Amino acid sequence: MTAFSFNKLVIFGVGLIGGSLARALRERGAPGPRGTVIGVGRSAASVERARELGVIDGVAALGDDAQLRDALAGADIVLLAAPVAQTQPLLTRIAPFLDDATIVTDAGSTKSDVVAAARAALGPCIGQFVPGHPIAGRESSGVEAALPDLYVGRNVVLCGLPENSPAAVARIEAMWKATGAEVRQMSVEQHDRVLASVSHLPHVLSFALVEQILEGPDADLKFSFAAGGFRDFTRIAASSPEMWRDICVANRAALLEELDAYTAVLARLRAAIDAGDGATLEAAFARSRKARTEWQERGGKVAAGASPAK
């Protein structure tokens, strides 16, 4: 963990992700001068709960020019922790009040679309925006679910832009490291391809299985015999429909590429099942088992108390 101090942090969307960052920066590490954390919501009431819980110090309503100007004045860092589809309207709203020295970052699950939105909204100030993605979550959401140690040992990806100053990227890196996270640099394209593969595609596949059971005959009977394999496979099918709709649309190019490659593998396994070709099936299953087991042994397993939802 690295020492990290700040004067003012402004968080747009104080839910699980934003709230956990605020708690981590305030509750972890050596005691020292504490910066101010301001939460901004569509209305002041929506972030009032976070203040009641002591997660943030002050609140501002997004729609109120004076409150927003006050909130952003002298901020070192702004975090966008709202759904990715809101990136462009949020940044457009923020832009007129943004100090030159403020660094803006985000926590969105997709990056190509977020960067395009940021370029459109910030124009020549794009260098102040450092795209980020903390890969952490829980099944529960909202500020009540925020934890000071949510990010411990988790990956945070930063996709530094050519326009970013090294100092701006380093500042956001230091912030995330102070939460206990491991920070890794990637290009926007690489991030979206990797996340499409290990997160977005499995979500689509899991939603699709439940959908297929619902459409077919005997859905109730099938559910009544579903056991542990089904439970784990479909846990992510209980994720937010709105969030996953946005991610699928925002990252469609990379997601379709992974989905098509997956469909090709599935067609090959189908042919082997149809032909009763046990050797091909066993070889494929053995490769998967070996890779999955090695992944787990390398630390893929995370603590049950903070199981990531993404």
Q: Which of residues 224-243 bind a copy of itself (CB under 8 A)?
A: 224-242
Pairing label, strands 103-106, 36-41:
unpaired
Give the residue from 259, 254, 137, 250 showing the smallest Cα distance to 204.
259
Q: Which stretch binds a copy of itself (CB under 8 A): 9-17, 69-77, 121-129, 299-307?
A: 299-307
Residues in contact with a copy of itself, total (CB under 8 A)?
Answer: 99
282 binds a copy of itself (CB under 8 A): yes
Supply the minimum distance, in Å, between the C-beta of residue 242 and a copy of itself: 6
**Cβ nearer to a copy of itself, comparing 39 with 134:** 134
Q: What is the largest CA-CA distance in the chain?
A: 70
Q: How far apart are CA 4 and CA 158, in angstroms?
A: 17
Nearer to a copy of itself, 76 or 182 (CB): 182
Select 92 or 307, whichever has its Cβ closest to a copy of itself.
Answer: 307
Beta carbon of residue 300, minimum distance to a copy of itself (angstroms, whole number):
6
Say if residue 119 is exposed, middle or buried (CB neighbours under 10 Å; 0-12, 13-18, 19+).
middle
* Residue 195 binds a copy of itself, judged by CB under 8 A: yes
Nearer to a copy of itself, 36 or 234 (CB): 234
Residue 269 C-beta: closest distance to a copy of itself, Å: 6
Question: Rule CB under 8 A: is residue 310 a binding residue for a copy of itself?
Answer: yes
**What does the alpha-carbon distance between residue 57 and residue 50 come to, in Å, rounded to a whole number?**
9
Nearest CB to a copy of itself, comparing residues 30 and 221: 221
> Minimum distance from CB of 247 to a copy of itself (Å)?
10
**Taking the complex as a whole, how short is the minimal distance between the CB of residue 85 and a copy of itself, in angstroms?**
9
Touching a copy of itself, residues 47-76 (CB under 8 A): none
Stretch that binds a copy of itself, among 14-22, 40-48, 73-81, 210-218 (CB under 8 A): 210-218
Q: Give residues 111-150 in contact with a copy of itself (rule: CB under 8 A).
A: 135-137
Which of 1, 45, 73, 209 is the binder for a copy of itself (CB under 8 A)?
209
Residues 71-100 that bind a copy of itself (CB under 8 A): none
Other beta carbons within 10 Å of 281: 14
Phi and psi at 286, nearest 5°, equal: -65, -40
- The number of C-alpha atoms within 13 Å of 101 and in the hemisphere containing its C-beta is 8
Residues 243-272, mask of contacts with a copy of itself (x by CB under 8 A): -xxx-xx--x--xx-xxxxxxxxx--xx--
- Taking CB under 8 A as the criterion, the residue among 149, 155, 170, 177 binding a copy of itself is 155
- Give 160's DSSP letter: -
- Coil, strand, or helix at residue 46? helix
Query: Residue 211, interface with a copy of itself (CB under 8 A)?
Result: yes
Residue 307 makes contact with a copy of itself by CB under 8 A: yes
Joined tokens for residue 117:
């939105």
The SS3 call for residue 309 is: coil
To a copy of itself, the closest distance from the beta carbon of 31 in angstroms equals 31
Contacting residues for 56 by C-beta, under 8 A, at least 6 apart: 11, 14, 19, 22, 37, 38, 39, 47, 50
Three-state SS string over 213-243 comes to HHHCCCHHHHHHHCCHHHHHHCHHHHCCHHH
Name the token pair of 55. 């997660």
- Reading the block at residue 148, the tokens are 């000071």
214 counts as binding a copy of itself under rule CB under 8 A:
yes
